[in-house]
Amino acid sequence: MALELIPMEKCTLESGKMLFLDHIVDVTLDLQSRLNVQTCTIWNAPIIWDGMFDAALYDEAHKRKNSSVALTVFAVGKYLDAYLETFLHSSEQHFMLGLPVTYYIFTDTPKKVPVISLGPNRSLKVMEVASHSRWQDISMTRMKSISNIIETEIRHKFSHVFCFDVDQEFTGRFGSEALGESVALLHAYYYRLPKSMYTYDRNPNSKAYMETGDFYYHAAVFGGRWKRVKAIADACYQGIVEDKKNNVEALWHDESHLNKYFWRNKPTRLLSPEYCWDDSIGHTSDIRVKRLIWAPKDYKNLRPNV
Ligand code: 5GW
Ligand code: MN
């Protein structure tokens, strides 16, 4: 299969040590260009901040490699009217420009999906899903739908998948520098806080339970090669199903399970909170470019009976 490429690039250093990279172009990352933030994990995965990468180089490398990206997003109930149009319009301006992109929109009301004009090599597919009366179930069944669509369709057409919350707006480049084997996002609220403040699930009866971890990851954005994203979605969904059997629900639902997965299976690439910022946090010089921002929350009107 042309698209199923070598999972990670291996590169032998002069010392004989092996370096594992998501892509050979990662040797050009400048980890020293940002002095006040962490740019690399202890397991040697890069944390992508503005200034570290040459965007044109990444685009060229991924074009040569025929990388292609499926984007999944859920817009169920009132979330469709409230957020989908802004999400898609902004994504057309900023998400993976220059690479083939297909949006997979999961909704309970296909007819209401806005008609927007798409750039070349970009397309959109609408998938109908049931609406759940409990909001916790809407967010948790996402993992099952993501796994299914990867298995039936995405794996045959795309090298990578990114999964997004819909309540966000792209405001800057979100490009091929974000592609990797498995990609996790540092949560804007926690990246500067001590681990003791991370809101992992602390109930030993939940499959998402963890005492400690590396970072607190945000479930609003995750991705990677299709095979890995399927493994992520399957693992999270299994955890959720087990929890249901035992009558427990993890503290932050699918996000808690995602954090557990990435603790046991380290992501190969981390995105800085520049890739999903909340403006209500206020100004910080850490954030040089806001690439994606949270839309204002309006839980009172948007969420079905809590
Ligand atoms: C509604 C009420 C409570 C929680 C979730 C929903 C909900 C989520 C919904 O009614 N419809 C819907 O499409 N979603 C999808 O799940 C959206 O893609 C949404 O962005 C995602 C996660 O839910 P959020 O954004 O409300 O969760 P947080 O963690 O950003 O607050
Ligand atoms: Mn959200």
Tens of each residue's pLDDT in the chain, 306 residues: 343 445 688 878 788 877 789 999 999 999 999 999 999 999 999 999 999 999 999 999 999 999 999 999 999 999 999 999 999 999 999 999 999 999 999 999 999 999 999 999 999 999 999 887 777 777 678 999 999 999 999 999 999 999 999 999 999 999 999 999 999 999 999 999 999 999 999 999 999 999 999 999 999 999 999 999 999 999 999 999 999 999 999 999 999 999 999 999 999 999 999 999 999 999 999 999 999 999 988 776 776 554
The reply to whether 209 falls in a domain is yes
Q: Using H for helix, E for strand and C for coil, what is the string for the chain?
A: CCCCCCCCEEEECCCCCEEEECCHHHHHCCCCCCCCCCCECCCCCEEECCCCCCHHHHHHHHHHCCCCEEEEEECCCHHHHHHHHHHHHHHHHHECCCCCEEEEEEECCHHHCCCCCCCCCEEEEEEECCCCCCHHHHHHHHHHHHHHHHHHHHHHHCCEEEEECCCEEECCCECHHHCCCEEEEECCCCCCCCHHHCCCECCCCCCCECCCCCCCEEEEEEEEEHHHHHHHHHHHHHHHHHHHHCCCCCCCCHHHHHHHHHHHCCCCEEECHHHCECHHHCCCCCCCCCCEEECCCCHHHHCCCC
The reply to whether 188 falls in a domain is yes
User: Which of 112, 167, 302 maximizes ligand 1 atoms within 8 Å of its Cβ, making it the mutation to test the pocket?
Assistant: 167
Distance CA 162, CA 248 (A): 28
Report angle CA 258, 147, 221 to the nearest 5 degrees.
45
The reply to whether 2 falls in a domain is no
Residues 6+ apart with CB under 8 A from 278: 188, 189, 293, 294
Q: How far is the CA of 138 from the centre of ligand 1 (A)?
A: 7
What CATH code is carried by the domain that includes residue 40? Answer: 3.90.550.10
The reply to whether 152 falls in a domain is yes
pLDDT at 137: 77
- Ligand nearest to the backbone CA of 87: 1
- Ligand nearest to the backbone CA of 292: 2
> Of all atoms in ligand 1, which is nearest to the CA of residue 107?
13
Distance CA 240, CA 242 (A): 5
Cross-strand bridge partners of residue 268: none
Task: Tally the domains of the chain.
Answer: 1
β 269-271/168-170 pair status: unpaired
The reply to whether 3 falls in a domain is no
The reply to whether 290 falls in a domain is yes
pLDDT at 5: 44
The total of other beta-carbon atoms located within 10 Å of residue 56's CB is 10
Which is the catalytic residue, given 181, 249, 255, 274?
255
pLDDT at 304: 55
pLDDT at 298: 74
Residues spanned by the domain of 243:
8-302
pLDDT at 139: 67
User: Which of 137, 165, 216 maximizes ligand 1 atoms within 8 Å of its Cβ, making it the mutation to test the pocket?
Assistant: 165
Closest CA to 277 of 257, 293, 266: 293
pLDDT at 131: 87
Ligand 2 ion: nearby residues, β-carbon < 5 Å: 165, 167
β 292-294/168-170 pair status: antiparallel
Distance, C-alpha 237 to centroid of its chain: 16
Distance CA 161, CA 101 (A): 10
The reply to whether 227 falls in a domain is yes
Distance CA 13, CA 167 (A): 43
Measured over the CA atoms of residue 119, residue 293, residue 161 and residue 240, the dihedral's sign is negative
